[in-house]
């Protein structure tokens, strides 16, 4: 299995009071031609599929648009509901920061493939360690949403942005070289799971760059093509 694309479900209902959602979706398609869009659901959800870099660009576009609307609401006040208006273009969107709690706290959010997220956490643990920064990950199947929140000082904000950029760079680089192989259990007995675990542990020192992710019904092996082919053949 190659890490070439991902499917994510976006909820654009938060823009309903400001934009015609159908217009917003059309602008999203223009903004990200490399992505495939499913039908817009009545509740405001839409499925999007494509490569991670393109999905990140779309997410940044939406986050920046949400931030601009929030700032506009503060200026105009919320004493009355503003009518929905046609979409205005925001080109070159690269900023993903949004205020959280107070003006001195910042939060960055990015979406990673779950296996790549685990790979980075295992082999590059220092990426998730920084003073004045809290990092959390919420996994939903093949997608893990990473939240990087500064503790309120300038140093924390700088660290948070640096971590975000580092994770993005790791993700892009690892997508190019990593592959995944799944070893399914023929029997779901405790004994078979234990045998697989012992075999993987015995082989692991010979393949230091392979990540083993155990589940109840299978084991996922993540690494370079050469490593995982050799590793899985040895296990089998």
82 and 43 in contact (C-beta within 8 Å)? no
Q: Where does the pLDDT of residue 2 fall: very low under 50, low under 70, confident under 90, or very high at 90 and above?
A: low
Q: What does pTM read for this prediction?
A: 0.59
For residue 38, the SS3 value is coil
Tokens encoding 116: 């790549």
pLDDT of residue 152: 62
First-last CA distance in the chain: 18
> Does residue 98 contact residue 107 with C-beta atoms inside 8 Å?
yes
Tell me the range of 79-83, 140-144, 232-236 where mean pLDDT is highest. Answer: 232-236
> Residue 160 — φ and ψ, nearest 5°?
-60, -45
Paired tokens of 210: 């392979």
Q: Are 13 and 50 in contact (CB under 8 A)?
A: no
Helix (H) or strand (E) holding 56: helix 52-76
* Domains of the chain, first to last: 5-66 (3.30.1370), 107-177 (3.30.70), 179-235 (3.30.70)
Average of per-residue pLDDT across 137-165 = 78
β partners of residue 6: 50
User: Tens digits of per-residue pLDDT, 179-231?
Assistant: 999 888 877 788 888 888 889 999 999 999 999 998 888 889 999 999 999 99
């Amino acid at each position: 299995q190659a890490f070439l694309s991902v499917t994510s479900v976006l909820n654009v209902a938060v823009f309903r009071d400001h934009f015609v959602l159908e217009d917003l979706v059309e602008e999203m398609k223009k903004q990200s031609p490399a992505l495939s869009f499913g039908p817009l659901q009545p509740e405001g959800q839409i499925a999007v599929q494509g490569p991670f870099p393109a999905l990140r660009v779309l997410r940044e576009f939406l986050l920046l648009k949400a931030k601009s609307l929030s700032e506009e609401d503060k200026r105009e006040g919320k004493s009355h509901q503003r009518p929905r208006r046609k979409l205005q273009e925001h080109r070159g969107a690269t900023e993903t920061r949004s205020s959280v709690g107070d003006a001195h706290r910042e939060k960055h959010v990015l979406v990673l493939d779950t296996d790549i997220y685990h790979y980075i956490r295992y082999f590059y643990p220092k990426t998730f360690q920084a003073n004045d920064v809290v990092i959390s990950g919420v996994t939903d199947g093949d997608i893990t949403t990473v939240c990087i929140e500064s503790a309120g000082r300038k140093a924390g904000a700088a660290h948070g942005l640096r971590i975000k950029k580092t994770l993005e760079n790791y993700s892009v680089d690892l997508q190019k070289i990593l592959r995944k192989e799944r070893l399914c259990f023929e029997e779901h007995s405790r004994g078979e799971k234990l045998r697989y675990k012992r075999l993987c542990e015995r082989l692991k020192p010979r393949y230091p760059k392979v990540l083993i992710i155990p589940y109840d019904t299978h084991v996922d092996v993540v690494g370079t093509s050469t490593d995982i082919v050799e590793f899985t053949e040895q296990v089998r």
